[in-house]
Amino acid sequence: MRAVVVSQWGGPGVLVEREVGRPEPGMGEVLVRVRAAGVNPVDWKTRESGGLIAWGPVPAVGWDVSGTVEAVGPGVTLHRVGDEVYGMPRFPQQAGAYAEYVAAPARHFARKPASLDHVRAAALPLAALTAWQSLVDTAGVTAGQRVLVHAAAGGVGHLAVQIAKARGAYVIGTASAAKHDLLRALGADELVDYRTTAFEDVVSDVDVVLDAVGGDLARRSLKVLKPGGHLVTLPGPDGLPADAGDVHAVWLLVEPDLKGLEEIAALVDRGLLKPLVDTVLPLEQAAKAHEIGELGRTTGKIVLTVA
């Protein structure tokens, strides 16, 4: 099968397409024929140096998958051949989504949202699960709470805005002014242009902050949180404030999650969650996809199609 792998650690140019052996599903696994693969910041961060990923003998890239079940391994009852599924298999272990086929545990996949094609479904798993596990599982967002989403137009951010809104929260987002109209259409109640205004000067009494940016944002966010509020940061544990006081400050690493995928699909099919796709490229242009992503200017997600 065709697959994009890392020839050596480094820039986008180290991504090469190769013919590799097609995987076979083991016990409790399914083989998925990949129709589209989402591209995430973790993809290019691990491509640079390997990161924390447990790489196999052939360093394959990517986690977001939308496709069709091609075969099922012994003991699998959740999916059948021909089912359309989506998921984020094996993360943070190696998955190899930039390929024609992926084999992984059956419960790392859920039925694809019926209202989405494979390209838009592939834009969801890692980013939507990150937002869901941050806001719902970790912070327990409920109706009436005030939620601040940094980088609200990004891959995680634009989905977090919608998930928080679907749970009845008052949603505040930071984003450049050019993206405010789009974010209002997605449900944001209040927006701050981070290029001209320090959010801590105009935002207060927040119950939950989701920080997908890093740097000093987590520390600055403590100033706007209520006592007992939740700060969830995504870039890494080094970004957590040394002394968060009476705020619940945590670093979250997203996990494969069947229940979360099913909840996300239900929101999509109810019209409450819409993934935004910024750029679609064929598999053989994976390096270009990484180049675009690393500019940090995309609104929503980049997706690779697999013919």
pLDDT band at residue 275 using 50, 70 and 90 as cut-offs: very high
Q: Is residue 256 part of a domain?
A: no
Q: Is residue 188 part of a domain?
A: yes
Nearest Cα to 180, choosing from 210, 208, 152? Answer: 152
| Residue range of the domain that includes 104 | 2-124+275-305
Q: Is residue 133 part of a domain?
A: no
pTM for the model: 0.96
CA distance from start to end of the chain: 12
Per-residue pLDDT at 152 exceeds 90: yes
Domain match, 172 and 224 both:
yes
Domain match, 38 and 72 both:
yes
CATH number for the domain spanning 209: value is 3.40.50.720
Q: For position 276, what pLDDT does the model report?
A: 96
Domain match, 94 and 6 both:
yes
Q: For position 242, what pLDDT does the model report?
A: 79
d(CA 101, CA 70): 9
Residue 273's Cα: distance from chain center in Å?
14
Domain match, 115 and 151 both:
no
Cβ atoms of residues 65 and 34 within 8 Å: yes
Domain match, 106 and 189 both:
no
Domain match, 15 and 112 both:
yes
d(CA 101, CA 23): 7
Q: For position 258, what pLDDT does the model report?
A: 98
Domain match, 109 and 178 both:
no
Per-residue pLDDT at 122 exceeds 80: yes
Mean pLDDT throughout 204-214?
A: 96
Q: Is residue 22 part of a domain?
A: yes
Domain match, 155 and 61 both:
no
Q: For position 54, what pLDDT does the model report?
A: 65
CA geometry: angle at 173 spanning 167 and 176, to 5°? Answer: 150
Q: For position 74, what pLDDT does the model report?
A: 98
Mean pLDDT throughout 114-131?
A: 98
Helix (H) or strand (E) holding 166: helix 157-166
d(CA 32, CA 242): 43
Q: For position 292, what pLDDT does the model report?
A: 96
Q: Is residue 195 part of a domain?
A: yes
pLDDT band at residue 52 using 50, 70 and 90 as cut-offs: low
Q: Is residue 166 part of a domain?
A: yes
Q: Provide Rg for the chain, Cα atoms.
A: 19
Domain match, 111 and 202 both:
no
Distances (CA, A) of 220 to 16, 216, 232: 41, 6, 13
pLDDT band at residue 206 using 50, 70 and 90 as cut-offs: very high
Question: pLDDT > 90: what percent of the chain?
Answer: 88
Domain match, 237 and 182 both:
yes
d(CA 173, CA 74): 46
Number of domains in the chain: 2
- Residues recorded for the chain: 307
Q: For position 236, what pLDDT does the model report?
A: 84
Domain match, 107 and 177 both:
no
CA geometry: angle at 5 spanning 261 and 117, to 5°? Answer: 35
Domain match, 115 and 153 both:
no
Q: Is residue 268 part of a domain?
A: no
pLDDT digits (tens, 9 = 90+) for 88-111: 999 999 999 999 999 999 999 999
Mean pLDDT of the chain: 95
CATH number for the domain spanning 301: value is 3.90.180.10
Cβ atoms of residues 232 and 104 within 8 Å: no
Q: Is residue 160 part of a domain?
A: yes
Count the helix, strand and coil residues of the chain and give each as a percent rounded to the nearest 5.
Answer: 30, 30, 40
Distances (CA, A) of 218 to 186, 200, 240: 24, 11, 6
Q: For position 296, what pLDDT does the model report?
A: 85
